[in-house]
Amino acid sequence: MRKKTYIIILLAFLYFSLSIFGDDGIRDIRDNTGYFWNKVQMTRLINYLKKQDKKDNLKQDNLKKKMIAGISPHDDYLYAAKVYYKLFKNIKAKEVVIFGVTHSAPRKSLNNKDGFLIFDNFKNWKGILKPIETSPLREELIKNLPKTDYIINKQAHMLEHSIEGMLPFLQYYNKDIKITPIMVTGMEFEKMKKVSSNLSLIILKYIKKNKLTLGKDIFFLISSDSNHYGKDFNNTIFGTGEKAHTDAIKFDIKTVKKYLTGLISEVNIFGLTRRLWGKTYKDSGKTLWCGRYSVPFGMLTVLNIKDKLFPKKSLNGQLLKYSDSYSDGVIPLIKTGYGITAPFSLEHWVGYFSAGFYID
């Protein structure tokens, strides 16, 4: 009887472990509704986006230089795929460092502790063609970063969707892509600078050791949706109705253009934090970006690496596309097998943008 009890407990533990952590060291899918995990359906989506792209003659879509970094949304594909596409069609690198958000579910699992980066230790992540390998860079970071700069937490990564949303697009354009997933938690700007500097030095050593070229061999990707607006988000700073929607969008676009386009400097990045946070990182600014930590941290890291490799050149940003769920609604692809994870209305809408960064 006791032996049977032990077996039952063991089986239950194994089942729980596999459901949370995935099989054979593979990080499983968290969102199988908003993202396309089927190769055929992903191809169908890309073909649709290509046709739409030919009709879109926006000047900002013409990249001035080869990108080394970018910012992408992570909202449902049926809402935001047009915005993803403007960025991902230009990413050709062999491996990508992804700076992800730490949303409420993983924050709660960590008892809302912050001030550090979060690494996983999965061998692979699920892709649309085959498992996506984690880069050896992750182990270099874990080995060499100060212990106070990070934690390793599988569960937090399993509960977070902002990194996995990048993967179907990345692997569609490069079936052998490798990733270094990094979740960013809240921290004051000075702490961000310190941790980012430590991270950048290790990445630089990895780049030099492996003779990597920015943009060609390694790319830096930052995950962030922008404004979350409406009564459902307790965010009505511009009021309600159509005019509030228009004003909130204008504020979002102005934020991107002022701090993330043209010449990028530490002053820009600090200004962005004040725009998004207020005086401290725990305050709420006028626009609720879920990437209010991942964007400034990722940009500091990219700027640090550029300064070390190309001190006489500048880092520049370019807006590729802005949209929001209320203005455009759902992409009209029927019978996709996928859907949306939240509604859209004047009381609940999300903005998103893609931007590219290059050295000049």
Q: Is a pLDDT exceeding 70 seen at residue 359? A: yes
> How many percent of the chain have pLDDT more than 90?
86
- What pLDDT does 348 receive? 97
- What pLDDT does 63 receive? 67
- What pLDDT does 13 receive? 44
Q: Which residues contact 190 (CB under 8 A, 6 or more apart)?
A: none
Supply the pTM of this predicted model: 0.92
Q: Is a pLDDT exceeding 80 seen at residue 206? A: yes
Q: Is a pLDDT exceeding 50 seen at residue 223? A: yes
Return the domain boundaries, the chain: 27-359
Q: Is a pLDDT exceeding 60 seen at residue 250? A: yes
Read off the pLDDT band of 62 (50, 70, 90): low
Q: Is a pLDDT exceeding 70 seen at residue 248? A: yes
CA distances from 25 to 22, 120, 126, 258 (A): 6, 11, 10, 42
Q: Is a pLDDT exceeding 60 seen at residue 213? A: yes
> The tokens of 118 are what?
């979060």
- Among the four given CATH numbers 3.40.50.10260, 3.40.830.10, 3.10.20.30, 3.40.50.300, the one describing domain 27-359: 3.40.830.10
Read off the pLDDT band of 8 (50, 70, 90): very low
Read off the pLDDT band of 285 (50, 70, 90): confident
Identity at 302, one-letter amino acid code? V
Measured over the CA atoms of residue 252, residue 253, residue 259 and residue 260, the dihedral's sign is positive
Judging by beta carbons within 10 Å of its beta carbon (0-12, 13-18, 19+), is residue 35 exposed, middle or buried?
Answer: buried
CA-CA-CA-CA dihedral for 219, 62, 87, 246, to nearest 10: 130
CA distances from 322 to 13, 272, 276 (A): 45, 17, 17
Q: Taking Cα atoms as reference points, which of 139, 137, 140, 150 lies closest to residue 110?
A: 150
Is residue 162 within 8 Å of residue 222, measured between CB atoms? no
Read off the pLDDT band of 283 (50, 70, 90): confident
- What pLDDT does 64 receive? 62
Q: How much is the average pLDDT of 290-313?
A: 97
pLDDT in tens, 118-174: 999 999 999 999 999 999 999 999 999 999 999 999 999 999 999 999 999 999 999
Is residue 103 within 8 Å of residue 161, measured between CB atoms? yes
Q: Is a pLDDT exceeding 70 seen at residue 338? A: yes
- What pLDDT does 55 receive? 74
Q: How much is the average pLDDT of 206-216?
A: 98
Judging by beta carbons within 10 Å of its beta carbon (0-12, 13-18, 19+), is residue 104 exposed, middle or buried?
Answer: exposed
Backbone angles phi, psi at 243, to 5 degrees: -65, -40
Backbone angles phi, psi at 169, to 5 degrees: -65, -45
